[in-house]
């Protein structure tokens, strides 16, 4: 079967989306059967819908990225879906490395994330979130991947289902772990790189990011506790208040367990620890009250 590619980008008024599309067009010159679907809102009017680019508007009620990605998959014609975020600039050979892995037989391929050092809080936020998906971490099977840089064959989605639209955060964690429960392997390709440039350069934005991240991530981790090796104490709310300093320290140690992460980003240790403390506070405030089996 001929490979056809649908690139799906959930967009929320991104100021980078025109640069992302330009990089994608350069990479897809000479490739047939490629479409680029931008789903969401574009008030800055930076999406030019031509030459294989299609813009599909959604209203403010469809704010979650999972909804936009699902809509993209409903409309997509390709037999491979490539997901990028609207704050991720793909490296010049990103698509090439995704497709190469699929040709070698992989059904699910996650790529690496790089970031610059201009803004301390943005850097710490990136290190805290993507420490295990950096280009110098080894290729191979992973327990989960991120939709900031992910390609999936259509038949996998047809078997495992679409993303959970009730999740504001951690929808890619849930989705990729669900793939594993269906018997699929998650492969990490460190040469398929995107540059992540989120608009999180202040302490207040870091605070909001990790407060928002905590409840849904916790729900997913408790729901898939065996698959994600979630500690049993994670089911007790008090851990995220009285035990927060220890939980944050444990999570920070895991962030810097790869020697190259520590060597490259040691200066972010205090801020990364702070992100873990904020996450604990969010988990305590919004601890799941209902069974975590219903996501």
Q: Tens of pLDDT along 75-127?
A: 999 999 999 999 999 999 999 999 999 999 999 999 999 998 899 999 999 99
Higher pLDDT, 31 or 145: 145
pLDDT at 294 over 80: no
Number of domains the chain contains: 2
Q: Which tokens belong to 179?
A: 């793939």
pLDDT above 60 for 291: no
pLDDT, the chain, mean: 93
CA distance 35 to 82: 10
In a domain, 76, yes or no: yes
Same domain as 116, residue 232: no
In a domain, 292, yes or no: no
Asked if 176 and 154 sit in the same domain, the reply is yes
14: tokens are 């991104």
* Statement to judge: residues 214 and 158 lie in one domain: no
The strand pair at 53-57 and 5-12 is best described as unpaired
Residue 62 has pLDDT above 90, yes or no: no
- Tell me the per-residue pLDDT of 158-180, one tens digit each, with 9 for 90 and over: 999 999 999 899 999 999 999 99
Domain-embedded: residue 106 = yes
Do 210 and 95 share a structural domain? no
Tokens 């191979």 -> residue: 140
Rounded to an integer, the average pLDDT of 248-263 is 94
Q: Is residue 291 part of a domain?
A: no
Domain boundary among 169, 196, 223: 196
Per-residue tokens: 227: 């698959």
So what's the pLDDT on residue 31? 82
Statement: residue 207 has pLDDT above 80? yes
Q: Write the CATH number for 29.
A: 3.90.550.10
Q: Say whether both 183 and 249 belong to one domain.
A: no
Pair 34, 140 in one domain: yes
**Which domain, by its residues, includes 42?**
5-196
Specify whether 60 is located in the same domain as 127. Answer: yes
pTM of the model: 0.93
Q: How far apart are CA 204 and CA 208, in angstroms?
A: 6
Is residue 293 very low, low, confident or very high in pLDDT (cuts 50, 70, 90)? very low
pLDDT-derived band at 2 (thresholds 50, 70, 90) equals confident
Q: Return all residues near 212 (Cβ < 8 A) that are at least 6 apart.
A: 168, 169, 282
150, 175, 196: which is the final residue of a domain?
A: 196
| Residue 290 domain flag | no
139 and 222 co-located in one domain: no
**Contact of 235 with 222, CB cutoff 8 Å:** yes
Terminus-to-terminus CA distance in the chain, angstroms? 35
Kindly state whether residue 65 falls inside one of the protein's structural domains. yes
Query: In the listed set 166, 196, 226, which residue is the last one of a domain according to the structure?
Result: 196
Which of helix, strand or coil describes residue 158?
A: helix
* Structural domain contains residue 126: yes
Q: How far apart are CA 88 and CA 192, in angstroms?
A: 12
Is residue 141 located within the same domain as residue 270?
Answer: no
- Same domain membership, residue 154 and residue 53: yes
Q: Percent of the chain at pLDDT above 70?
A: 97
Torsions phi, psi of 257, nearest 5?
A: -70, -25
Q: Please indicate, yes or no, if residue 74 is contained in any of the structural domains.
A: yes
Let me know whether 119 and 260 are in one domain: no
Mark whether 19 and 162 lie in a shared domain.
yes
d(CA 294, CA 74): 23
Residue pLDDT, tens place only, 5-41: 999 999 999 999 999 999 999 998 878 889 999 999 9
């Amino acid at each position: 079967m001929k490979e056809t590619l649908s690139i799906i980008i959930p967009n929320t008024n991104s100021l980078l989306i025109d640069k992302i599309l330009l990089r994608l067009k350069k990479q897809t010159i000479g490739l047939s059967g490629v479409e680029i679907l931008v789903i969401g809102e574009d008030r800055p009017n930076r999406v030019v819908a031509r030459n294989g680019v299609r813009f599909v508007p959604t209203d403010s009620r469809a704010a979650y990225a999972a909804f936009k990605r699902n809509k993209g998959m409903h409309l997509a014609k390709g037999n491979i879906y490539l997901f990028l975020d609207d704050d991720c600039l793909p490296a010049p050979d990103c698509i090439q490395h995704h497709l190469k892995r699929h040709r070698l037989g992989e059904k699910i391929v996650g790529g690496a994330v790089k970031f610059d050092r201009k803004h301390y809080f943005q850097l710490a936020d990136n290190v805290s979130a993507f420490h295990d998906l950096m280009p110098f971490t080894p290729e191979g099977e992973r327990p989960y991947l991120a939709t900031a840089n992910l390609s999936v064959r259509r038949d996998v989605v047809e078997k495992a289902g679409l993303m959970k639209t009730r999740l504001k955060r951690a929808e890619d964690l849930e989705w990729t772990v669900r793939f594993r429960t269906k018997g699929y392997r998650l492969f990490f390709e460190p040469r398929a790189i995107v540059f992540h440039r989120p608009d999180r350069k202040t302490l207040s934005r870091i605070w909001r990011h990790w407060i928002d991240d905590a409840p849904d991530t916790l729900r997913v981790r408790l729901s898939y506790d065996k698959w994600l090796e979630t500690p049993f104490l994670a089911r007790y709310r008090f851990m995220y208040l009285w035990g927060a300093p220890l939980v944050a320290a444990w999570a920070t140690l895991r962030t810097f367990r790869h020697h190259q992460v520590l060597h490259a980003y040691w200066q972010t240790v205090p801020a990364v620890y702070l992100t873990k403390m904020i996450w604990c506070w969010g988990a305590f405030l919004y601890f799941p009250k209902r069974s975590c089996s219903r996501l």
